[in-house]
Structures are given as structure tokens and as C-alpha cells.
């Protein structure tokens, strides 16, 4: 007996096929998973979203969504959801990454050819994280202002203490910015201190750089505006961040100080207890590959941590310049820093930014 009397056999078959096709399509859509990755917004987010993630998404039938924020923001989110992670992978500045590792927020990176290929400085202790790009904190200056005033480009961290720059130096807060922390630690070394003893730096600051500082800013987000308005003459920054400002048409240049710069590695780690560990590790491995890093370099000036990354033309010149800077770049002792940083932050906020 035909329970669909109004449908012909052919039409019933067509309807059945359509329903099956719809179910198949729904199953395919259901199988598309989403990975959430915490990283800096702005240029980095745009670069990875538009030029890096696509190949991985296509090959693995997955969508990668950025959770934007500063390293401190991302760490706070990961810590708040430690037992039920909302993200799968996160990018953090190296100092904050060591804090994340100490909090148990990261899984050990899985062995892969790309991990083995990285520069030694890009492999974190115990392979609990790995560098996705490398750079260094040196000095950036407002080329337009320097030219108008007939000032020679800076060459030293101590140039920030020159009285002619009074009210023209901008410094990121030690308590919230790696750039600010790096700048202070390198100044501290010039004063005779080290990464375990910052007494010389704190003692000298009020009579050297301190009087020249116009404003202590929590991050570098405000720098573009302060360069445009002619408020900022000089500030700690990386070559990559300088490149971002220059791409916006701002008259900013980078200088490698004669005393050296501080190596700044942006690391990635797979977040412990995340809901998609296999896919998360696969994404992390892909982001260390020469292919992924070549795209990040070409479209976002992200300096590769994998020396097998191919670079030519403008990108090749940028990498060559960074390699030259690395000759006088120094590392900082993050174990000592993170042990003492809460006390330093409290002292900085009380005596410097009061």
C-alpha cells in the first residue's frame, strides 16, 4: 500500500535523495570543528587570519578563531578557565609564557621536524612552548621630530637621559609591558645591576631617564597617536612594531643601542586540558613550519623562528637586518624576573608611576 498517495514513485525518490543530501551536508557541517587561539590583535591577528590559517583550515576541515588581547590579557583568560579551557592554543611574549608554564597552563609540545629545526633560543625549557617569531627590544625614535630639531639619531639607552629630551620620552610600564621591562632591565645593567639585582636601576632612574618621561603607558597602543601629535620622541620598541608604525605612514625608525637589545620571542603553547588536544597540537606544529612562517613574514613582517623559512626581496632584507641586530641582542633571566616581578611592580607603581 502506498502511504504517500499524492507522490509519484519518481517524485518520492527525488524527495528521499534530497533529504539524504541535506543530512549528509548537515553531518559535514557538524564535523567542522573550531579552534580558538589567543594572540595579539591588530596586525598579528590580521596577518594570521588572512594569510596563515587558511591552509591549515582547508587541510583539516577546521575553523581557527582568534581571541585577541595582549599577552597579559590572554594569560588572564587562560588562568580564569584553567579547569575548562575556552582556548586551545595561545601566543604570549616569552616572559609571560614562562609564567603560564609555571602555572601549569601549557602541555609539552609534541616532537616534530619543525620543532627540531627552530633556532635554539626559540625552544623553551622542556619544550613546554616554542617561539613562533623572534625579535628584540631596542629604541625607536620619531624621525620627523629629530630632523626638525637637528638632533642626531639616538645610539644608546642613556640617550633617554639627555636633558634635551625632557618631556619627550615615552616609556611603557614595567608592570604591564615587556617593552618597558626590557628597557628598564637594560638600563639597570648599564647602572651596574643584573636581572636579580635591580637596586641600581631604581636608584638611578629618578635622576636620569625619569625626569624626561612624558608619560608611562600600559602598552604600546597609544604610541601611534603620540608620534602623530609630536608628543613622543623616543621609546622602547621592537623592529617589527616599528615596521607596523611605518606601514601606517608614521615617521618612526628603529635603532639597535650600542649596549645591545633584549631578545623578545613570541611563543606558542598548547593549552592544557583543552577540548581538542590532537588538533591543537597539529595547529601548533603547523605554525612552526617554514610554510606558515613564510606567509607570516611576507604579509606581517613576523620574523621566523624556523631558519628553513624561505625569504627573498623585502622580506629577505628584513631577516638579514634582524640577524645583524641579533649579534648584539642579549637574553634576560626570566626565572629570576618572574620570581621577583611582583615586588618590582609594586615598587615601580609606588616610586616611579606614582
Distance (Å, rounded) from C-alpha 65 to C-alpha 58? 14
pTM, two decimal places: 0.80
Quote the mean pLDDT of the chain: 91
What pLDDT digit, counting tens, does each position of 276-306 carry?
A: 999 999 999 999 999 999 999 999 889 999 9
Same domain, 162 and 258: yes
Same domain, 207 and 347: yes
What's the domain range around 274? 29-134+265-311
Same domain, 281 and 294: yes
Within a domain: 121: yes
Within a domain: 215: yes
Same domain, 111 and 146: no
Within a domain: 245: yes
Pairing state between β 261-271 and 106-107: antiparallel
191: domain CATH number is 3.40.190.10
Same domain, 85 and 178: no
Same domain, 342 and 290: no
Rg (CA), the chain: 25
Scanning the structure block, which residue is given the C-alpha cell 631578545? Answer: 263
Same domain, 69 and 213: no
Q: Is 309 in contact with 294 (CB distance < 8 Å)?
A: yes
pLDDT value at 12 more than 80: no
What pLDDT digit, counting tens, does each position of 172-191 carry?
A: 999 888 899 999 999 999 99
Distance (Å, rounded) from C-alpha 185 to C-alpha 193? 8
Same domain, 259 and 280: no
Same domain, 206 and 346: yes
Within a domain: 201: yes
Q: What is the mean pLDDT of residues 338-345?
A: 94
pLDDT value at 15 more than 50: no
Within a domain: 180: yes
Counted domains in the chain: 2
Within a domain: 106: yes
Same domain, 241 and 219: yes
Within a domain: 22: no
Within a domain: 209: yes
What pLDDT digit, counting tens, does each position of 78-92 carry?
A: 999 999 999 999 999
pLDDT for residue 163: 97
Same domain, 184 and 35: no
- CA–CA–CA angle 198, 267, 114 (5° rounding): 135
Same domain, 222 and 303: no
Amino acid at each position: 500500500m502506498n502511504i504517500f498517495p499524492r507522490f509519484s514513485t519518481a517524485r518520492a525518490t527525488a524527495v528521499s535523495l534530497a533529504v539524504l543530501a541535506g543530512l549528509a551536508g548537515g553531518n559535514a557541517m557538524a564535523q567542522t570543528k573550531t579552534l580558538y587561539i589567543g594572540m595579539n590583535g591588530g596586525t598579528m591577528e590580521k596577518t594570521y587570519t588572512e594569510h596563515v590559517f587558511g591552509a591549515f583550515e582547508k587541510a583539516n576541515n577546521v575553523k581557527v578563531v582568534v581571541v585577541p588581547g595582549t599577552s597579559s590579557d590572554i594569560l588572564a583568560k587562560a588562568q580564569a578557565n584553567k579547569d575548562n579551557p575556552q582556548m586551545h592554543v595561545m601566543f604570549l611574549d616569552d616572559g609571560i609564557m614562562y609564567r603560564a608554564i609555571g602555572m601549569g597552563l601549557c602541555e609539552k609540545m609534541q616532537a616534530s621536524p619543525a620543532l627540531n629545526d627552530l633556532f635554539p633560543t626559540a625552544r623553551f625549557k622542556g619544550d613546554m612552548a616554542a617561539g613562533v617569531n623572534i625579535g628584540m627590544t631596542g629604541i625607536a625614535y620619531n624621525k620627523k621630530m629629530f630632523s626638525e630639531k637637528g638632533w642626531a639619531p639616538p645610539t644608546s639607552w642613556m640617550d633617554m637621559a639627555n636633558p634635551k629630551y625632557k618631556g619627550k620620552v615615552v616609556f611603557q610600564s614595567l608592570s604591564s609591558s615587556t617593552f618597558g621591562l626590557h628597557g628598564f632591565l637594560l638600563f639597570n645593567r648599564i647602572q651596574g645591576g643584573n636581572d636579580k639585582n635591580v637596586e641600581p636601576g631604581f636608584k638611578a632612574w629618578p635622576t636620569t631617564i625619569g625626569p624626561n618621561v612624558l608619560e608611562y603607558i600600559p602598552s604600546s597602543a597609544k604610541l601611534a597617536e603620540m608620534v602623530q601629535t609630536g608628543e613622543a620622541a623616543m621609546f622602547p620598541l621592537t623592529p617589527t612594531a616599528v615596521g607596523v608604525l611605518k606601514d601606517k605612514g608614521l615617521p618612526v625608525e628603529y635603532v639597535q643601542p650600542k649596549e645591545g637589545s633584549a631578545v623578545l620571542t613570541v611563543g606558542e603553547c598548547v593549552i592544557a586540558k583543552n577540548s581538542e588536544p590532537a588538533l591543537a597540537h597539529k595547529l601548533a606544529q603547523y605554525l612552526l613550519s617554514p610554510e606558515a612562517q613564510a606567509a607570516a613574514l611576507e604579509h606581517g613582517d613576523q620574523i621566523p623562528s624556523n631558519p628553513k623559512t624561505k625569504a627573498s626581496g623585502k622580506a629577505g632584507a628584513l631577516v638579514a637586518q634582524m640577524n645583524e641586530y641579533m649579534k648584539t641582542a642579549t637574553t634576560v633571566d626570566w626565572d629570576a624576573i618572574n620570581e621577583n616581578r611582583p615586588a618590582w611592580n609594586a615598587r615601580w607603581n609606588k616610586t616611579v608611576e606614582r
